[in-house]
Amino acid sequence: MQIVLATRNQHKAVELERILLELDLQFELLTVDKFPDAPEVEETENTFEGNALLKARALCNFTGLPAIADDSGICIDALEGSPGVLSARWSGATENIDRANVDLVLAQTVSVPEGQRGAQFQCAAVAVFPDGREFVSLGSMPGALLTAPRGSNGFGYDPIFVPDGFTKTTAEMSASDKDEISHRGIALRKLAQLLKEG
| Residue numbers annotated as active site | 71
> Which 8-state DSSP code applies to residue 83?
B
Closest by Cα among 72, 62, 88 to 4: 62
Return all residues near 2 (Cβ < 8 A) that are at least 6 apart.
Answer: 27, 28, 29, 30, 65, 66
The C-alpha atoms of residue 166 and residue 22 are separated, in whole angstroms, by: 24
- Give the CA-trace dihedral at 60, 62, 65, 67, to 10 degrees: -30
